[in-house]
């Protein structure tokens, strides 16, 4: 349902502006409709781009936050060598790229789980 509402919010004005541009009888109204349609399309693109950036920041921030929290807990518990080994392994597997999101999130989640598991295992000894 959310998707349908978003589509209506962004495309209803565009359709209205295009209708004005196509059906108006005066040149001024057609030109205004076309300019508004073009401007609204630009605003829609900007909003979608901004939403995509927020989404990427959220997944990166959450994965980094969890990794740092668990790593700090393990270091405080005296498992600094194990944390260093796991982070080094993560660094070796990390794909740094600007073309797509890369594999940071998956690596961070996997490394967090391994550090947490090893830390709990060491504490139970």
| Helix residue spans in the chain (DSSP H) | 2-23, 27-76, 80-93, 104-123
Q: Is this structure's pTM higher than 0.75?
A: no
pLDDT grade, residue 56 (50/70/90)?
low
34-46: per-residue pLDDT in tens?
Answer: 999 999 999 988 8
Tokens of 63: 């994965």
Query: Average pLDDT of 114-119?
Result: 88
Q: Please tell me the distance from the alpha carbon of residue 24 to that of residue 93, in angstroms, as a whole number.
A: 59
Closest CA to 108 of 52, 65, 54, 73: 65
- CA–CA separation, 51 vs 43, rounded Å? 12
pLDDT of residue 100: 67
> How would residue 28 be classed by pLDDT, with cut points 50, 70 and 90?
very high
Neighbours of 100 (CB within 10 A): 7
Distance CA 51, CA 38 (A): 20
Would you list the domain boundaries of the chain? 2-123
Higher pLDDT, residue 56 or 117? 117
Q: What's the rounded Cα separation, in Å, for the pair 61 and 78?
A: 26
Is residue 78 scored above 60 in pLDDT?
yes
pLDDT value at 1 more than 90: no
Report, as an integer, the average pLDDT of 96-111: 80
Could you count the other beta carbons within 10 Å of the beta carbon of residue 53? 10
């Amino acid at each position: 349902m959310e998707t349908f509402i978003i589509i209506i919010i962004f495309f209803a004005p565009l359709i209205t502006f295009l209708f004005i541009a196509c059906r108006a009888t005066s040149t001024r109204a057609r030109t205004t409709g076309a300019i508004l349609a073009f401007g609204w399309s630009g605003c829609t693109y900007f909003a979608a781009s901004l939403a995509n950036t927020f989404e990427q920041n959220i997944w990166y921030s959450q994965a980094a936050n969890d990794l740092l929290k668990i790593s700090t807990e393990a270091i405080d518990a005296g498992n600094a060598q194990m944390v260093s080994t796991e982070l080094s392994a993560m660094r070796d597997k990390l794909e740094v790229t600007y073309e797509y999101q890369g594999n940071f999130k998956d690596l961070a989640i996997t490394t967090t789980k391994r550090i947490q598991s090893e830390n709990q295992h060491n504490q139970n000894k």
